[in-house]
A = this chain, B = another copy of it.
Amino acid sequence: MTKPPPTKTTRPPTRRWHQADQEQRRELITQTALKLLHQKGLPAVTMRAVAGKLGVGAMTLYTYIDGQQGLHREMVRQGFEKLNSGCAENSTLGTAEGWRGGARAYLRFAMENPNLYRLMFDHFMSDDDKDLLHGGFQHLFDRVKSRLSCEGYEGDNLDRESRSRAGRFWIALHGLATLATAGRLVVLEGGLDELIDDLLKHVAPDRA
């Protein structure tokens, strides 16, 4: 009994992972966090909860991820990738129908992942991270530009007009998305599809 050790008890570390790659483990952590975020909201996404769902000690996460901020960053990255690819897939053409498809995909993503969408735009982004956002907007911008160049715009006019129209389109989509996910659209009694159509008629990059 002459041993009051500096720490009471220290239990063994046992390898519990079933994935080989370090990258895969980070991915698994992120997916688990995303599931939790979707089901219970951001406050439920605690280090302990995520680790617990993986059957792993909380501190283990720090081997793969840079703390809570890093976890958020990883979720945000996934979010933007899914949002961007979803929009790109559903707006294959530069036609009016194409804009509608892209807009619907954007709104669908926001409505199906409200917590993630909010996190994506609340989370502080480093300059590196911002490339993700730039990427999505750049894609939209290029589409508008090529469309307008077919309509006779060129040079500075083409650039300015493209930026203006793409910007309006994105601003309107984002406004609608944030209001809808926050449940603030009760004041507008119409369904979401009607709202999209309405916005398209007035702020869509072509036929404005």
Contact = CB atoms under 8 A, between A and B. Distances in A.
A173 B203 CA distance: 13
A32 to B, nearest CB: 24
A104 to B, nearest CB: 16
Contacts of A184: 121, 133
A118 interface: yes
Interface stretch (A2-10, A50-58, A174-182): A174-182
Contact of A198 (B122, B133, B138, B168): B168
Given A176-B171, A182-B121, A163 B188 contact: yes
Interface range on chain A: under 10, 10 to 19, 20 to 34, or 35 or more?
Answer: 35 or more
A202 interface: yes
A44 to B, nearest CB: 15
A171 B167 contact: no
A202 B171 CA distance: 12
A195 B174 contact: no
Contacts of A179: 121, 171, 174
A125 B182 CA distance: 9
Contact of A187 (B133, B164, B186): B133
Contact of A202 (B125, B174, B187, B202): B202
A83 interface: no
Contacts of A183: 125
A130 B184 CA distance: 8
Contacts of A164: 198
A199 interface: yes
Contacts of A153: none
